[in-house]
Copies of this chain bind each other. A is one copy, B any other.
Amino acid sequence: MELDPRRLRVLRAVALRGGMADAAQLLHLTPSAVSQQLAQLEREVGQPLIDRSRRKAALTPAGQVLAARAERIEHELAEARRELTELSGRLTGPVTIAAFSSAVCHLLVPALLELAKTHPDLEPRVVELEGPHALSELRTGALDLVVSEYDIDGQVPTASLYGLASDPVADDEYCIVTPTGWSPQPRSIRDLTARPWVAGPPETACGRALDRIAAEYGFTARRAHTCLEFPTVLALVAAGLGAAIVPMLALAGAPPDAVALPSVPVAGHRRITGVRRELPSGPEPLTNAVVTALQGVAVGLGLMPVTTPHNRPAASGKSRRTRRVGDRE
């Protein structure tokens, strides 16, 4: 039995993506190539690995067993890469980072500018992507780091994070913004109970924050407008069309004429974290440097420092402050 590791990698992709077509996309191959590789692998192994009874290819028990081994091999390769970059001392090579829109603008871009000075050999690649899909890509290896947010006062993040590790990057408090043109100028939330709101969609962190505030102050928010992205929210607010709840981060680049009320603690905050693959021997130096830079930017922006202060040295990789996702504080 030969067991070419290259073919195992194909099997793993099918297991991860649940189909040859998607696996082909992940591997940057055509479905035909994937099919041929799997057929060859089955020939070598001498037993069926793929259940072809349905349209979408599924793994037989033998295939699942083999894919699990392939996963462990991929893990060993990741460890090897980590050890080598640690040994070389220099942070070099590509790191693919996914982040949601406002994190890209206000955290990631400044962090990468800083990193370009301190670690010129680092080749960051930015992908604007969020949610479960980003985490799935993280698992497959297409991404190395996902800058993720979750409403710390709500429930746990969206998807299962087994096998991943997250570090806090910033705690981002919500604040209320009102148009400068409104008179009388609102001084408290009570002045806003009858006003229109520019709300986020109900399932977003900001949408839930508005619900909490309204419940706290005993009013029903008039959701006049619904916007997903903060620049559009702020544009509507600036135009006098409503008040809004946005995280502080969204105001980092905002024109000063839109801001009004001070921080409203009742709204809570969202936590911004860096999520990466869990390696038993510690965090990867490359992603580690990026997370550290992100934390630095967050501190510079005056975003509340996270509960556990992090001062991990940039290139040592020795610190072990990373907590496994799922640990509750």
Binding site for B on A (CB under 8 A): 1, 3-6, 8, 45-47, 61-62, 65-66, 69-70, 72-73, 76-77, 79-81, 83-85, 87-88, 92-93
Most B C-beta atoms less than 10 A away, residue of A66, A76, A79, A83: A76
By secondary structure, the A interface counts as helix
Is A87 touching B73 in the complex (CB atoms < 8 A)?
no
Kindly report how many copies of this chain are found in the complex they form together. 2
Find chain B residues with CB under 8 A from A84 CB: 1, 45, 47, 62, 65-66
List 21 interface pairs A-B (beta carbons < 8 Å), by A numbering.
A1-B93, A3-B77, A5-B5, A5-B6, A5-B73, A6-B6, A45-B84, A46-B92, A46-B93, A47-B84, A47-B87, A61-B87, A62-B84, A62-B87, A65-B83, A65-B87, A66-B80, A66-B83, A69-B76, A69-B79, A70-B80
Cβ of A65: which chain B residues have Cβ within 8 Å of it? 80, 83-84, 87
Residues on B with beta carbons closer than 8 Å to the beta carbon of A62: 84, 87-88
Given the complex, which residues of B lie within 8 Å of A70, measured CB to CB? 80
CA distance A259 to B129 in the complex (A): 84
Q: Which residue of B lies closest to A83 (CB)?
A: B65
Complex: A89 Cα to B3 Cα, angstroms: 18
Nearest residue (CB) in B for A286 is B1
CB distance from A313 to the nearest CB of B (A): 21
Q: Taking CB as reference atom, which chain B residue is nearest A78?
A: B3
- Listed from nearest, the 5 A-B pairs whose CB atoms lie closest are A5-B5, A69-B80, A65-B83, A73-B76, A62-B87
> With a CB–CB cut-off of 8 A, which chain B residues contact A4?
6
A81 touches B1 (CB 8 A): yes
For the complex formed, measure the closest distance between the CB of A50 and the CB atoms of chain B, giving whole angstroms: 14
Given contacts A6-B6, A88-B47, contact A69 B61 (CB under 8 A): no
| C-alpha spacing A3/B93, complex, angstroms | 13
How far apart sit A142 and B177, CA to CA, in the bound complex (Å)? 72
Cα separation A87 to B61 with both chains bound (whole Å): 9
Residues of B with C-beta under 8 A to A87: 47, 61-62, 65
Judge whether B83 and A77 touch: CB under 8 Å.
no
Q: How far is the CA of A166 from the CA of B266 in the complex (A)?
A: 67
Contact of A69 among B46, B83, B85, B88 (CB under 8 A): B83
